[in-house]
A and B are shown apart, each in its own frame.
Chain A
């Protein structure tokens, strides 16, 4: 009796006990679905957070003023502000060849009105280069230019949320809005980045730095200098050049550094590590339900062996060897487990189509493969004890069994 025959007889006996087989499969089905779905949710969460970190800018390095020790330490040292000249220096292609652009930023909390509508948000004053650095593209209208910046013109590019709140359905391009009493003309609307763990990324206004400083904040320290590395491979070099330039300009060294660097790449790595652990934990919890499903298989197969003792006796009497009986029950448990896994997969695909709490689950191919391999393993492992019991039954005793 070859493998294919044993497979057929396994399937036949599963079909002969539909209800029992179905209930056993249910355990595996739920286990497999749980593993795939939970890992998919973990991956979905990871994608969403990674996406929003990347949405902050491409190859972004941000420089903040102040020391790592906080304000107390700042008071003891002669902390120099970050200045526009610092940003200009970072754009020097000789000193910092791996930095493609650097732009100073100054934030102002503003309350804007347009017609009867009003909205409060943060306005970022910066240079035109900031659009590229922060991955901010306009979907309608255009950007402000260097001459707008030089002349301090009252123009702005607004995020989708601001556009919706101030202009409702109307086209905001060319319209005027008043922020903290200062009139601005809207030049463009940014492409939506969506909401994320970092809040609504569309709730922003970008205006020329000079304008923001002249009309809203005054000439104080900059909030940040946003720096873009030429490529993701040269982030480390870019950061080195950045520190070299700023250390020289501020006359500091590593211990007395009066600015801090936030590197998007290292944040991504850290966050991805944390999320990887989170996903693995979810998967592990789900794997426990697979284990429980496996124990269900052992249980049912043991019942099945007992119930079919006489049948096993008959089969042995007419010439089934130990191997054939063993194979039959092993295949039966494995097929049971595989069919369960298949339905679990279908269930998982259905469930992961649903978006939960803003997270779109992403099925990880490895988890699908893994769940299948594990369920075959479960069938073999948890089926082996009952199958062995069946195979080692003595035919005369099995035949006497009622």
Chain B
């Protein structure tokens, strides 16, 4: 079976000459379907860069990256946007919902970009919002929702298009402990349903929810351990 993520010797270099920064220095990583991986590391360790590359938002300078068997390094910008739409569901630290747009419309958006018809889109978005427990908040705008609720909308949006990978970047970073527990419970639930999750975090107790934890230091994998 093809792994969901297959990174071989991925390197990312910023700048040139004396100012060159090796944000990633030969990272190799395989994630299979159903895995729940946490990527940890201090700031500057390269975890944001890794997240950008895994999320097909950026291209590695060297090395191989296959997502669901697709060679990401060879794709142009438009093809990358299609890959992001089909394969990846993003959950961001700062929620990143579209302002002045209802929760329902936010969740519908990935489906709209995929070309799903309006009626079906609406049904699927409603189902996704119901799944994250927000059936009574569908027509609220982001500024009318609490942080935890906004992040749940973001989870619904990430899930609605049935992506191969859920990519969460510090999903609890802006949340209080109640909402944190809430969102982590949701992710656990998704994991139990067989979804592949990659989560970036710097908090140990958050990382505890994952099956496997890798720790980055200076752009290299410093530690790769299994929980439980």
Chain A residues engaging chain B, CB cutoff 8 angstroms: 1-2, 5, 12-13, 16, 310-311, 313-324, 395-396, 399
**B residues near A317, Cβ cutoff 8 Å:** 55, 57, 84, 90, 96
Quick one: which of B52, B81, B110, B112 contacts A5, CB cutoff 8 A?
B112
Whether A396 pairs with B100 at a CB distance below 8 angstroms is: no
Which residues of chain B in 102-138 are interfacial with respect to chain A, using CB atoms and an 8 Å cutoff?
A: 105, 109-110, 112-115, 118
* Alpha-carbon distance A319/B92, docked complex (angstroms): 15
Q: Which 9 A-B pairs have the closest CB atoms?
A: A319-B85, A16-B100, A319-B113, A321-B81, A314-B96, A318-B110, A396-B57, A321-B78, A395-B57
Shortest C-beta distance, A260 to chain B (Å), equals: 75
Q: Are B98 and A319 in contact (CB under 8 A)?
A: no
A1's partner among B77, B84, B92, B113 (CB-CB below 8 A) is: B113
| Contact flag A310-B52 (CB < 8 Å), given A1-B112, A318-B109, A321-B81 | no
Chain A residues near B84: list those with CB within 8 A: 316-319
Report whether B113 and A318 are in contact in the complex, using a CB–CB cutoff of 8 Å. Answer: yes
Which secondary structure characterizes the binding site on chain A?
helix
B188 interface residue per 8 A CB criterion: no
Could you give 7 example pairs across A and B, Cβ below 8 Å?
Answer: A311-B98, A314-B97, A318-B113, A319-B110, A321-B78, A322-B78, A396-B58
Minimum Cβ distance to chain A for residue B44 (Å): 15
* CB-defined contacts of A311 to chain B, threshold 8 Å: 98-99
Query: Which residues on B sit within 8 Å (CB–CB) of A13?
Result: 100
Residue of A with least CB distance to B49: A396
CA of A219 to CA of B57, assembled, Å? 103
B70 within 8 A of A: no
Q: Among B81, B114, B161, find the residue whose CB has the most chain A CB atoms closer than 10 A.
A: B81
For this complex, into which size category does the number of interface residues on chain B fall?
A: 20 to 34
| Residue contact B78 to A319, C-beta cutoff 8 Å | no
- A1 contacts B81, C-beta separation under 8 Å: no
Specify which chain A residues have a CB less than 8 angstroms from the CB of B86 in the assembled complex.
Answer: 319
B61 within 8 A of A: no
Alpha-carbon distance between A322 and B90 when the two chains are bound, in angstroms? 19
CB of A95, distance to nearest CB on chain B (Å): 81
Chain B residues whose CB sits within 8 angstroms of the CB of A12 once the complex forms: 101, 105
Q: Is A315 a contact of B98 with CB atoms below 8 Å? A: yes
Q: In the complex, which residues 142-199 of chain B have their Cβ closer than 8 Å to any Cβ of chain A? A: 157, 161
**Which partner residue on chain A sits nearest B79 by CB separation?**
A321
Question: Which partner residue on chain B sits nearest A317 by CB separation?
Answer: B90
Cα–Cα distance between A1 and B52 once the two chains are bound (Å): 25
> Which of B81, B100, B114 is A316 in contact with, Cβ under 8 Å?
B81
Q: Which residues in A have their C-beta under 8 angstroms from that of B77?
A: 322
Closest CB of chain B to A22's CB: distance in Å?
16
Minimal beta-carbon separation of B116 from chain A (angstroms) = 10
Residues of A within 8 A of B105 (CB): 12
CB B33 to nearest CB in A, in angstroms, measures 21
Shortest distance from the beta carbon of B59 to any chain A beta carbon, whole Å: 11
Q: Which residues of B contact A321 (CB under 8 A)?
A: 78, 81-82, 113
